[in-house]
Amino acid sequence: MKLESITLHRVAMPLVRPFETSFARQTTRVLLLVHVRTSEAEGWAECVAMEGPLYSSEYVEGAEHVIRSYLAPALLKATDVTAETVGPLTAFVVGHRMAKAALEAAVLDAQLRASGVSFGGYLGAVTDWVDCGVSVGISPDLDTLLDEVSGYVDEGYRRIKLKIKPGWDLIPVYAVRELIGPDMLLQVDANTAYSAADIAHLGRLDPFNLVLIEQPFVEEDIATHVALARAIETPVCLDESIVSVGVALDAIERGATSVINIKPGRVGGYLESVRIHDLCVAHEVPVWCGGMLETGVGRAANVALAALPGFILPGDTSASSRYFAEDLVEEPFVLGTGEHAGQLAVPTGPGTGVTVREDLVRDWALVAPVTLR
């Protein structure tokens, strides 16, 4: 396909409740949408970078800049662009995986809409419904936390993930485990908030039968994750550290991780996500699909990815209403009922299978869109 234009939309989406992690407290999701017009179809994708460089080094205005200055010119100059060639065409830029992932996904959406193939069909989905977990932020107090968790359990979510940090870990985990009972899937996410000195303390989470403890140490510190994995029973899961299939292999072989959170934006796109999935299946490492508070645009693609066979754990693929009162797509994600309670249906239409509400993109725009040709 020939790219005719790439338009960047910076949008502000109010959250239904504050979302606090060990590194930030958000009340609004500021995000970047990429809209490509090609010779054959249009495509949309969502960049997962946060407003500030707090989860990773990427952030919204940085992603906009690297797309405008380097990535888009390279793609607009090319005579034939496909999702498979976005990576090679932009490999001259070091890093900026979230920006590259958004461009690749937008091109993939256009390519698949032109050919009538769904994301799930293209990526290798093997199921029509995916099990959904829900991520619970750090709360101001236990009562607030337990009220929020009770609501999610009532909605049917199949797994609870609690954000933890030093000073907010053992007690909230104990209280939630008491609330939900011994069998419901429960895991914790530290977002790099701990250090090697905390290994013995983190071992005190073992009695709570957690599915995993996610990314307790900083991204680059594979060695301390290895030490933790040797010291505790709870499986260690990596998120921020896993930026490519190469790093995933290194982490698995060194025993730093026994579960991997695959986030397409973090690893550079859905094609790399499938490569990491395939590696993990070969090493019998379970994977699940992480989330970055995506709107239905990114959520649709994530749900399709979560339908691959190695995604055997519920992901952070919650319903749209977990974060947004109104979603940016005409088909907001709603949890199933009955046998599909706590599940989301994998979109079956061409591309991501959802339709972007361009009226809301316009109404909630923070700045005028930028179109590159």
Which chain residues interact with ligand NPG by CB under 6 A?
21, 50, 55, 135, 189, 191, 239, 290-294, 316, 318
Q: Is there a catalytic annotation at residue 100?
A: no
SS3 of 153, please? helix
When the beta carbons of 324 and 364 are compared against ligand NPG, the nearer one is 324
H or E, element range at 273: helix 270-282
The least CB distance from residue 50 to ligand NPG, in Å, is: 5
The least CB distance from residue 181 to ligand NPG, in Å, is: 23
Residue 192 near residue 219 (C-beta atoms within 8 A): yes
The least CB distance from residue 74 to ligand NPG, in Å, is: 27
When the beta carbons of 268 and 291 are compared against ligand NPG, the nearer one is 291
Cα gap 137→172, rounded to integer Å: 11
What is the Cα gyration radius of the chain? 20
When the beta carbons of 293 and 313 are compared against ligand NPG, the nearer one is 293
Q: Is there a catalytic annotation at residue 163?
A: yes
- Kindly state the DSSP code that residue 341 receives in the 8-state scheme: B
Residue 289 near residue 274 (C-beta atoms within 8 A): no
Q: What contacts 67, CB < 8 A, 6 or more positions away?
A: 6, 8, 34, 99, 102, 103, 372
The least CB distance from residue 60 to ligand NPG, in Å, is: 12
When the beta carbons of 81 and 210 are compared against ligand NPG, the nearer one is 210
Which is catalytic among the residues 100, 161, 163, 165?
163
Residue 205 near residue 173 (C-beta atoms within 8 A): yes
127 C-beta neighbours (distance < 10 Å), count: 14
When the beta carbons of 293 and 304 are compared against ligand NPG, the nearer one is 293
The least CB distance from residue 88 to ligand NPG, in Å, is: 28
Tokens of residue 12, six digits: 């502000």
Instruction: Look at the block and give the residue holding tokens 């205005």.
Output: 61
Tokens of residue 72, six digits: 């888009």
Q: Which amino acid is at 19?
A: F
Which is catalytic among the residues 100, 161, 165, 263?
263
Q: Could you list the active site residues? A: 163, 263
